[in-house]
Structure 1
């Protein structure tokens, strides 16, 4: 299941600072951090630990359905299908540990838990070649959950555009890949699967100083999700097995968000997703 992350650190421009006045972090990170601060950039502390809560709902396309019985190899019945809309919803809570390696590059690891549902109906006719007596309706009403783990990186940059509240533009690009070990319970379709999600997102925004030691930012962006498409399993209380090939109807959606930061020490943020995929993300990060 996809897990979304945003920039782990915000690079800000705060005016020229003498290099002699800059005290490096005990870790020596980020690399080139002292030089960046000497040029007037406020560099966040290099280590971060945070928690993220994410909820999303989106329609999916059923590209192919294969059915088999008595452990025989499944055969495609896609040409006989009548498919109603199929929706997937999910919730994820995860912890993240990140390291600012360079002022412009942050790497992170993710560990959390995903829960969700898949809802829809697939009509399989009696002449699908499986010996089914009468049309068969497969209820895609499944509840799933499992641990999620993965890693990613964030590229970020910016520069001052106005002296008013140190107004700064932000450019952020993020990539991550996660795997979820899903188990299904109390459902019609029981599948064992480990979907892999690859997520890319980009954001453009503005940051301003709100008060000494506190700032705020707003942004607009987009996110692309590529999710492992094949799910295999069995139909509960029958001798039917299935293989479903599915994917999001629209992999891109629009992002709108904002954050409040506490200088170099962390931030809280809220971000929404618009389009076919509706989502909401909340996160808090402490840096040290």
Structure 2
């Protein structure tokens, strides 16, 4: 419902923008920018994109609720190692250039992905005789896997500028993902500064750039312990229990390179790749009006 509501608000905003554009020229200050020699894109756009991403994660906490431990079990402790996360995201974005240097957008989409890590567990058994130390049953779960399928929505701004063939921009966005397979949500701030070169003056409708991507992602995940691939020896201890996991990205920054090709004033293709501790491939098709 929240996704539908957000997309509806975005559509209404764009509809009012079309009406606004009929009585005013968008972007505002367009004539001044064109008088300075800038080539501006059409003000309204719809963008369909796909992104595949792989990165490392740190599990900051693992908590349990509803465990009915036998009287001889004192407690169960779990500690996670560094893990990895893979995801694929398809989004539809609607945007508007309000000023030549300022773009506003809303987006919604679908994410599929998994989060995997190794977890070391320690079951403390009470001693049979008094004044004796606890007995510990220790083990390792090699593939502690969570499904991260869900629907996302959000919005952002782009600040852009340039001088002759050199341009720069900063893309700032915030998204929320409501998970569907397990309980939980993922909130993400993404900031992507870029600097590039426009070959349009050389007769080639191509832009290339390099930059970096910053992600501040908080993942709060919950579910039934019986839904996890736990060792059989732990099943009697956790059959009524639930888990709550907090995790975040291991590396916030990574470099990116990309290109945009203009097929016509109304159609653009874009491709971008990320490297380093976070690898990604991003492609999109942009329709402008």
TM-score, structure 1 as length reference: 0.77
Aligned counterpart, 1:64: 61
CA–CA separation in structure 1 for the residues paired with 2:78 and 2:177: 29
Larger fraction in helix: 2
Within the candidate set 214, 221, 245, 2:211 is matched to 221
Within the candidate set 196, 202, 219, 1:205 is matched to 196
Q: Is residue 58–residue 277 contact of structure 1 (8 Å, CA) maintained in 2?
A: yes
Aligned counterpart, 1:19: none
Displacement of 1:135 in angstroms is 3.4
Aligned counterpart, 1:180: 177
Aligned counterpart, 1:256: 257
Query: After the TM superposition, which residues 249-288 of structure 1 pair with which residues of structure 2 at under 5 Å, given as runs?
Result: 249-262=250-263, 264-288=265-289
TM-score, structure 2 as length reference: 0.77
Aligned counterpart, 1:159: 163
Query: Are 1:92 and 2:89 counterparts?
Result: yes
Provide Cα deviations, 1:142-164, integer angstroms capped at 9, x if missing partner: 2231211111010001111xxxx
Secondary structure of 2:205 counterpart:
strand
Secondary structure of 1:43 counterpart:
coil
Displacement of 1:234 in angstroms is 2.5
Q: CA RMSD in A?
A: 2.6
Aligned residues: 244
Q: What 5-or-longer segments of structure 1 have no aligned partner?
A: 1-24, 161-167, 185-190
Within the candidate set 109, 120, 124, 2:121 is matched to 124
Q: Is residue 43–residue 264 contact of structure 1 (8 Å, CA) maintained in 2?
A: no
CA–CA separation in structure 2 for the residues paired with 1:179 and 1:120: 23
Aligned counterpart, 2:51: 54
Within the candidate set 10, 25, 28, 1:28 is matched to 25
